[in-house]
Chain A
Amino acid sequence: METPPVVSVEALSYFYPSGARAALLNVGLQVRAGEILGVLGANGSGKSTLCLAMNGIVPQLYGGRFFGSATVADLDTADQPIHAFARHVGIVLQDPGSQLIAASAENEVAFALENACVPRGEIRRRVAEALVAVDLAGLGNRHPHELSGGQQQRLALAVALAQQPALIVLDEPTAQLDPRAAREVIALIKRINRERGTAFVIASHASEEIADTAHRVVVLSRGRVCASGTPEAIFRDTALLARERVRPPGVTASFERLRSRGLFHGALPVRMDEALGALGALPPCRPFLPGDPAPAAGRPALALRGVSHAYPDGTRSLREVDLEIHSGDYVVLLGQNGSGKSTLLKHFLGLLRPAQGTVEVAGKPLSGQSMSAVARRIGYVGQNPDRQIFNATVEAEVAFGLGRLALSRTERQARTDAALASLGLSDLRGAHPLALSKGERARVVVAAVLAMEPEVLIFDEPTHGQDDAGARAILELTAALNRQGRTVIVATHQLHLMPGYARRAVVLAQGRVVASAPLREVYHDLALLGSTHLEPPQAAALAAAACRGSRAVTPEEFADGYAGGGP
């Protein structure tokens, strides 16, 4: 017998106050008690809006035009005050830090219960129970901002759990977490669902996580539900996924490549365990062994020599790091949160000084160079473009940094025009940057950095919050810049995106460089990745399991090991 729905959405359409296009269009779906519903879709497909409609935040907080209905526990979300839904629907947002508002973990969990007039004794009991459930027992007195990203997201889950809702809605719950923290959160969701029967709605770009977690999946396309079914039904429909710009799980993509070459005829696996089981149905493989790319032969563009650093609270963030980044190289910087990636980048950028050792830029010690000199050599594109936009027009923004250089007006204009043209922004030069889409704003920041003509470009989590197509577009840009001779460094948690772009991977753990080697070598050093809590892309793990010694890292290369293709 079907369980009753905890949320019913019927013919729901919604327009944001400033939106000409519907953010949601005629959406109808139900979430049943104990169900985990995955929500997939490209950026702008309506995933976050749907999440916020499930407890009345849309439309009540945002305004706009709202048609149809969303019903939670027989209460219409458009009619009842938002706080009336708190006991029925918990919500966990993408950014772990910005959703924590109290000064201690236990107060964080207690806040919603206090609002619901739960007696003090009961609050104490539920707080303790929720913290135990998310493995944060004993950390109740910690300030939330002293917790790691994964712990913060688990605390946000504890907040939702303590309210004992029938449904918890999670909007990109692992997008800002490193692989280990993401794994912890996903395991927790599955355990809570199993033990308590709590229903979950998870909106995400992480197809592997949805395939591994969800009982049912819906795909949104420009605000509409364009497909609904089991994870198997959805992820096996690779034409649908391609059309809707949804990345299939790595194992599904790998077997799809085999199927397209006539080497696999079964049902496409969507989870790693299924894929490993399906390997037996494949013909014998041979190791995919491409040669490593020629190491960049240029002089070191950046170097750390014996660099150590400790923060004022005593945390040792870098320990005797020796690292050279050669001119013209493309390097991906990997490591879990707190491994020292940001500290390392800040040393290159001159934002931190080493307690010990030296930092060299273009063969010269950084300590003697001014910030404007460093900015001319090294361009930095941060995760959040909005923090890097200071001017009222795109053109002024791109020209901003040039004001500090000894250039004639003609030279400044020429550089500005060239940077705008290279990023396809010439037609938007008069626009206010804040009137542009997030992707366009990111391009404005890149153009502004390029105008300085730096030799080295550092990108910090450049694909954060992007769907697969958006992420690929950004990485294509980094690759084009590298082909022009610029040295590129990308710090990311998304290992599956980097094959085809980065030549070398540098892995940090506890402030030390534990690997600096060709990308394939690092991706297939499973012991190293395991010890640093990183995970190889599914295609690489599958290739390693299928064929000892294989160095395949993409679905295409995995298939090449069977088809007689490859290098």
Chain B
Amino acid sequence: MLADQQIKNKKKQYQYSIFLGILFFILIAQLFYLQVYKQAIYLKASENNRIRQVILKSTRGLILDRNGEVLVDNHPSYSVYATPFEVQDADTVLRLISRILNIESEEISKIIKEKQAGYFTPVRLKRHIDFSTLSKIEEYKLDLPGISIQNDPKRYYPSGVRAPHLFGYLGELTREEYESRKKQGIKFGEIVGKKGLEMIYDTELRGVNGYRYVEVDVLGREIKRLSDKRELLDVPGQNLHLTIDAGLQKFLESRMDTIRGGAIAVDCETGGILALVSKPDYDPDIFSKPLSEDIWNSLLSDQNKPLYDRMVQSLYPPGSTFKLVLAAAALEKGIITPERTETCVGFYRLGTKTYDCWKKEGHGELDLLGAIEQSCNVYFYTLGLKTGQDIWAEYSKKFLFDKPTGIDLMAENSGLVPDREYLDKKYGKNKWSRGLIANQAIGQGDLLVTPLQMLRFTMILANDGFYHKPHVVNFREDVISNKKEWTEIETKKIPDISEKTYKILKEGMRRVVQGERGTAKGARCSGLEVAGKTGTAENPHGEPHAWFLGFAPFDKPKIALCILIENGGSGGAVAAPLGGDVIRYFFNSIN
């Protein structure tokens, strides 16, 4: 029985083995047919593989002003691409394209090597080529396998508003940036926002790319689109509607064209920024064009720092504008009543040193309102010494001069309030003099603020302690559904400051502009009561910085603003008239 089974199994072993052998022979025969007999054909097919996935680039969202005027738009523009696999060993192609683009062929090889994201992912050689380059490439298309042209829209600025610090610019995603953004599906070398709103709202502005399948010919030209089923349509980016008023922004940009400094205006009722100008700036359009290294280096090394947003990023001594903080502290703590008077003789003697008032002949006898109106230093030296370092620092912090505003712009500076701890550290424990306190009383010394913080302070005073988080984006709009996502208005109140104090400070500010002896008479507007405060901040860089803070109308503040002119001289003479112009322009435009 066992023997029988084994013989039978021997027979079946042969049957099974032969059956298997036949099947495997068929496999090998077919492999031989494909790989040896037909190899040439398939090799060619693999080289000309015809079905490609084409990325449907989403349209980048526009940036518009508060009235819907387009500030940043897209323009068609063409870029030259090279497919690494096809050009890497093709010297003739490299030489030809190098001649057309006017880039050394070694440089092209370097670009390809650096930006390569895969053998078959085209690498951008040059953005925004001109028409003659484009037509040359089209002309030599047959001699340029692996070179292709794609539409990479560029930004343009139809309204005439420059505001480069607001908008920022676009650029290629670098290898370092790629790491942090690859999760969003953004590919290395893609165009992304590099600064400003373009960067902060990059995800919202860019939308989502789609794709579809196309059949291409040997030259990579699309011959046929393949069915709609496998397509994924692109989702256009959202439009950014800003709180910026294009007219006011343009007006300020032109008025400050030759000035170093800046201006910001805010809607007191919402915290929406109406205008934000920082000068000198740069033409945002230079980033739309091929950016030469020379231009970039000159921007970086320019002593006037045009790349800096002075309103948000830079720190300045606030000068006399800060007297309002000291006045608030002294009133709240009951150190003085508004009726208290001091006599100014043009200087203040402290020990062996004298501290000057800006008016050499002196102001005579002044109460608090008079001292604010005329910005008398002597009154505030006295007040500062009476109030003392700790209360002064406490109230500076209460008015948030050590905190950023949280505006939706980048690299905001948070200011510097020198408190006891800071001074001890800098000068040694209790080694700092009373003269230092006197200086701080008029906004000099170690104290540093950003113009944006001063603007928030102005808004706080205008609204009797209430303030809104400053923001630039009003709402984002989905261009397909027209659904709007509004920026939430975040309103807070400064605690523990009485309405009475605000009333006194505001009355002082009203007199600064409207008063007979006010320092900011240049900010007066007919038919409108304006309140403000000037500042003339001494600094080690030359002439003093000119400040003006203001809001209007006095009864029901609508606009608050802050102007800073670097080394401009007296705040009353230089900054206040400009402030008046801004307020006048604003109210003319809304009426």
Chain A bound to chain B: no
Where the two chains meet, the residues of B that have a C-beta atom closer than 8 Å to any C-beta of A are none
